[in-house]
Structure 1
């Protein structure tokens, strides 16, 4: 018999019900138990509601502990800035949601934690400088969210649900060119929600209503990479190595445009591997053998940085590649390797690795470059709110802080255009402006003009040489305009 049934039918041991009051006592006992059950039910419901609200709220957050201790310092700065805005300008602020893939393996998300941290620092830099402008509102709050493979769908739902109450006008960041990113963009685009991506480069992720992009496309990076390859090796003979991972739009489009950018005699052959399988490193070792026996002087690598060290090791162990000094050229994902390491990622330094970067701090000080003095000072000046002063131990070399600053800056300058309106612009109002062909911003990566449809018109693509210890050297830049041929 259950405990409840025992409570309803009998008094406890040693506490018999008096005969004269037995019926009334039993009824009262039953009523007390039912009341207790009802109160317990209310508490359970309340607990579920509170937990649900917490989960819902934590989808979009500025809680310093939300995404781990490595991100806590920058999250704390964002929270403090948000609190100041809410206190000082309670009726004159907008909110931008910064999305990063906080969940999933590196293969799934294609961004390491250092890149995410630098991206958040760039977002906060743009937030601070917008809020320090003496001219006019809107002031800006930032909420951070995860669009990783495990949580992008509930995050998108939370964005939609909380748009009005949080004054959300746009989403920025959005991660790399992966399946989860495509899902996020497609879902938000279905309601023409304003988005400004920082590092999406796949040519397949174009044409989504509401999406503006500040990064160079893979087609443009491929052109720039081939221009540099011809400069390094005038008699270009290239092998294209492509990753066949079906879930990765970045590698697919980069491979297609590497092949398309080569003249007939420049293309020696194409070889492929699949990074989604267990032993892709073994396949890359065999591929290296084929490359070194082919007479090629250049490898155009259309894959992710996670597998690149295996290829570089394999090439540098073969004399037929080392002696002539085979050059490897790849896309911006190699910036994930741009951090100092204790052990070299590959052996012989005669095997050189170049990559097309989305941004680099050398461009900030480049003579005749397109970065305004005021924007340069925002990063390298002595102002307490400069990047150098706020984050003195951080590097700009991977370009993530620069690109996420610029994406955020585009969103904020677009919101500023609605300052004369009586109400906060909706994400649909913002999307209409973003993709109208009228948005022009002086960014840290150079002048940014978002043309009709949301693409960036002119790109200055830096070329970096990455060393085995993770340090890099600036090797020039290639200008790409409207998808046309690059020039160095």
Structure 2
């Protein structure tokens, strides 16, 4: 048939011949595309994720390309997920063990302005993997930990939530919850609202902003207001001379820092005259314009006003730059130790090295941290749930060379 169509010279072809040529061209192009894709494999993001602005975004149970510093941990999660699947589909011995899925929704890549540092991502994945391994030590059901990267700035959550909603309808191994949600921003607020619309229970283990709420969203940490009340108890015992100073992050998109500033002003504004003694800076996390981590104004005012108590309403990853700038100014003739008050789940690892300790000494300062975690809890031999979790975490810590952090705080 085709041979008969093409026996005439192309100048003599009619609509039928040209339509046939076009159809063959489309088929050949499609075949070439398929062959190239098969030769190249699934690509850096695997079959389940797609590349959006340099980040792999979506939901997967398998390994994918992320920040090189976390790829071994991603591989370890993928291996545990594969083991869980095998124990249900084709166990080597014993009964089949059913499983369900929990998604870890957070960034898996980092840069100078991302929502999480690489060290924070590493420890976040390690903690989730430790919990997964501990839960899977028992008879069942077992748990797959789905990896749900939503972009380094937490702004690619929509395709992630859409896929998570689909997975809740899987009758074989349904998604039963989401965790992660590492930061309080307008984007994460939209994300938890969207997850709630799909009736997906979501746990924000490190969310402390008091105004981050949604019907199916659960916080396991005290909020900023509760942390501030703990600091107030500390200051009631050790008021010093009430020479306070507020250092606050001016980024409008940072829900956490804005909420913490308002909490500090409400609890301590009058007693420490924070309205007349404050300075702002632009934090590194986010896309707001401005030169980040400029603390010259704040440090000079703290020196000139002989402040004894600094309230830091910003993120931990910006605190080392503030401490270093304080060290450059020196002790400013202080006869007592300057207290830098902050809140949080614990200490970001960048605060616990030798250099930050030296900066604090040079500035004659200390950090007072209202924290949800006290390192004293795991001194000696912790018992019960914490001890079992730490057993798993220490295994992962050794395998993936996470490194230990040291405390530099006075905890109220």
1:164 to 165, 169, 187: 169
Aligned equivalents of 2:234, 2:130: Cα separation in 1? 32
Q: Look up the match of 1:475.
A: 410
Q: Look up the match of 2:80.
A: 81
2:314 to 294, 303, 308: 303
Superposition deviation, residue 68 in structure 1: 2.8
Contact 2:58 2:150 in 1 (8 A): no
What is the aligned-residue RMSD (CA, Å)?
3.6
Superposition deviation, residue 27 in structure 1: 9.8
Superposition deviation, residue 107 in structure 1: 4.1
User: Is structure 2 residue 181 aligned with structure 1 residue 174?
Assistant: yes
| Superposed counterparts of 1:45-194, under 5 Å | 54-55=48-49, 59-90=58-89, 92-102=98-108, 105-109=111-115, 111-134=116-139, 137-148=140-151, 149=153, 150-165=155-170, 167-194=174-201
**Uncovered stretches (5+) of structure 1, i.e. residues with no partner:** 1-6, 12-16, 398-470, 479-488
Superposition deviation, residue 302 in structure 1: 0.5
1:40 to 28, 34, 37: 28
Superposition deviation, residue 147 in structure 1: 2.3
Structure 2 SS opposite 1:267:
coil
Aligned equivalents of 1:335, 1:58: Cα separation in 2? 25
Q: Deviations over 1:4-59 (max 9, x none)?
A: xxx99846xxxxx9xxxx98xx9997576344224236548969998996436961
Q: Look up the match of 1:362.
A: 376
How many residues were matched structurally?
A: 374
Contact 2:248 2:314 in 1 (8 A): yes
User: Is structure 2 residue 237 aligned with structure 1 residue 237?
Assistant: no
Q: TM-score, normalised by structure 1?
A: 0.67
Superposition deviation, residue 133 in structure 1: 1.3
Structure 2 SS opposite 1:331:
strand
Instruction: Tell me: CA distance 1:160–1:292, structure 2 relative to 1, closer, same or farther (3 Å).
Output: same
Contact 2:206 2:221 in 1 (8 A): yes
Instruction: Tell me: CA distance 1:344–1:8, structure 2 relative to 1, closer, same or farther (3 Å).
Output: farther
Instruction: Tell me: CA distance 1:55–1:277, structure 2 relative to 1, closer, same or farther (3 Å).
Output: closer
Q: Look up the match of 2:271.
A: 265
Contact 1:222 1:258 in 2 (8 A): yes
Instruction: Tell me: CA distance 1:227–1:321, structure 2 relative to 1, closer, same or farther (3 Å).
Output: farther
Instruction: Tell me: CA distance 1:104–1:74, structure 2 relative to 1, closer, same or farther (3 Å).
Output: closer
Contact 1:241 1:301 in 2 (8 A): yes
Q: Look up the match of 1:219.
A: 225
User: Is structure 2 residue 261 aligned with structure 1 residue 248?
Assistant: no
Contact 2:247 2:310 in 1 (8 A): yes
Contact 1:229 1:329 in 2 (8 A): no
Aligned equivalents of 2:167, 2:31: Cα separation in 1? 26
Superposition deviation, residue 229 in structure 1: 4.0
Q: Look up the match of 1:456.
A: none
Q: After alignment, is 242-251 or 67-76 more displaced?
A: 67-76
Q: Look up the match of 1:203.
A: 210
Contact 1:95 1:167 in 2 (8 A): yes
**Uncovered stretches (5+) of structure 2, i.e. residues with no partner:** 1-5, 51-55, 90-96, 283-287
Contact 2:67 2:109 in 1 (8 A): no
Contact 1:360 1:396 in 2 (8 A): no
Structure 2 SS opposite 1:346:
helix
| Superposed counterparts of 1:333-482, under 5 Å | 335-340=348-353, 346=359, 348-365=362-379, 373-381=383-391, 386-392=392-398, 393-395=401-403, 397=405, 471-473=406-408, 475-476=410-411, 478=412
Contact 1:170 1:194 in 2 (8 A): yes
